[in-house]
Chain A
Amino acid sequence: MLDQKYYDTADEIIALHGAKPSSLIPIIQDIQTEFRYLPGELLSYVADKIGITEAKAYSVATFYENFSFEPKGKYVIKVCDGTACHVRKSIPILERLYSVLGLSEDKATTDDMLFTLETVSCLGACGLAPVLTVNDKVYPAMTPDAAEDLIEELRGAE
């Protein structure tokens, strides 16, 4: 059972966008931004409030890549594998990060809830390829070594 403050926050977000079916996506985007994931209980709650079925709400939330029912780490790292980054060797960076963080394609978040590792198809920073982002901050011209240093730096900041 979620804490009451989750529902209070959801109420505020619903009020901001209006309790209508077309507000579903902006509402759950804001919920996810707030809590770094989309708690299933809140999705059902939102569906009820804006007048759509739970099934509809889940069909939408599972369709879009950005929504996650799993809590994400404090630092969400996105390694760009768009064409320009791919041609400039983004995969070795991803592989190094998997090994440094002990993650894999099936396990995206570290147990200490510090890091989530994802890939993204093009961040539009192709001139700086290969790039990755940490919580939307872009790090340009990465190498596997630089990525490893970055992890150390973020860990050190904790």
Chain B
Amino acid sequence: MDRNAILNELKKVLTPYTENKELLNGITEETDLIKDLKINSANLVDIIIDAESAYNIEIDFDSAEKMYLVGNCIDVILDKMNQSA
């Protein structure tokens, strides 16, 4: 799976936690989940849990801390997918 495919999948994971759905149309790897998408910081945990089941991976505490930009999320997801492959 390439980065673009993951970005598109990630959009679906982010949708329920993004109040203004239109913001999702313009997301790039530089999009900040809290600052740009205005996601409630407590919901980052739910996003991580949803991403785990979407990609069948396990995300540890240290990796979770890095997941604040869309690009970082893709890095962590790719890294974990390669580990479990």
The answer to whether A and B assemble together is no
Chain A positions within 8 Å of B, measured between CB atoms, are none
Chain B positions within 8 Å of A, measured between CB atoms, are none
